[in-house]
Amino acid sequence: MNELEHALKWTKQPVPDVLHELHPTQQKKVIAYIENLVNSKTDGLEELYQAISMIVKYIPHFVVIPLMVEHIKPQIAAGVCKKMSVDQATGYANDLPLEYFSEVSRHIENQLMADILGRMKKHRAEKFIHYELQHHLLHMLDIAEHLDEKTLETVAKLVTLPEHEDDFVNHPHKEIIERLRGMQ
């Protein structure tokens, strides 16, 4: 990964080819512009997420969950989740529809997701793990690197790993794959 790609990794978007054609000093100016633009457009969001997380403490889940799924984009829900305690976030995770929670989870840091999964109801956690393994394997492997042993054993039980060592020699998740394979 070159300096440009590293600097824009946080966007989770591929770097446009035209940016690679620029001189490094021009690339730095574009990166600074992008960061300033994003900062100006997102100014105040963290405080909003904090306020929403404080407000929903006092509203029953059966009211919040349908409103959240219907009207709040997963990225926003993730921002609110990050401001909650792990226990509060786990309470919502247990009640959210699986597909919606999956979308939300992709906007939450892997360590926090591992903490939430470790505290979720066993049945709900297993459903989420199974869904992620089927639909977003790499995302689940990213989370798995941070899981406690008990939850990691659940992943090992549900995951199908490559048959041959050659299939993952240079794989970025080689270490966690080896741990999972050892648990099977």
50: CB partners within 8 A, 6+ apart:
83
One digit per residue, the tens of pLDDT, for the chain of length 184 reads 678 787 788 887 888 888 888 888 998 898 899 889 989 998 999 999 999 999 998 999 899 999 999 999 999 999 999 999 999 999 999 999 999 999 999 999 999 999 999 999 999 999 999 999 999 999 999 999 999 999 999 999 998 776 666 656 667 777 888 888 888 8
- Do 32 and 88 reside in the same domain of the chain? no
Measured between alpha carbons, how far is 54 from 39 in angstroms, rounded to an integer? 24
- Do 97 and 10 reside in the same domain of the chain? no
Range of the domain at 77: 59-183
DSSP state of 10: G
**What is the tally of helices (H) and strands (E) in the chain?**
13, 0
Residue 54: inside a domain = no
- Do 27 and 66 reside in the same domain of the chain? no
- Do 168 and 97 reside in the same domain of the chain? yes
Q: What tokens does 140 get? A: 């689940």
Sign of the alpha-carbon dihedral angle for 31, 141, 111, 61: positive
Residue 51: inside a domain = no
Q: What tokens does 49 get? A: 């997420």
Please provide the distance, in angstroms rounded to a whole number, between the alpha carbons at the two ends of the chain.
Answer: 33
The burial of 117, by beta-carbon neighbours within 10 Å (0-12 exposed, 13-18 middle, 19 or more buried), is given as buried
Tell me the whole-structure pTM to 2 decimals.
0.81
Structurally, the chain folds into a number of domains equal to 2
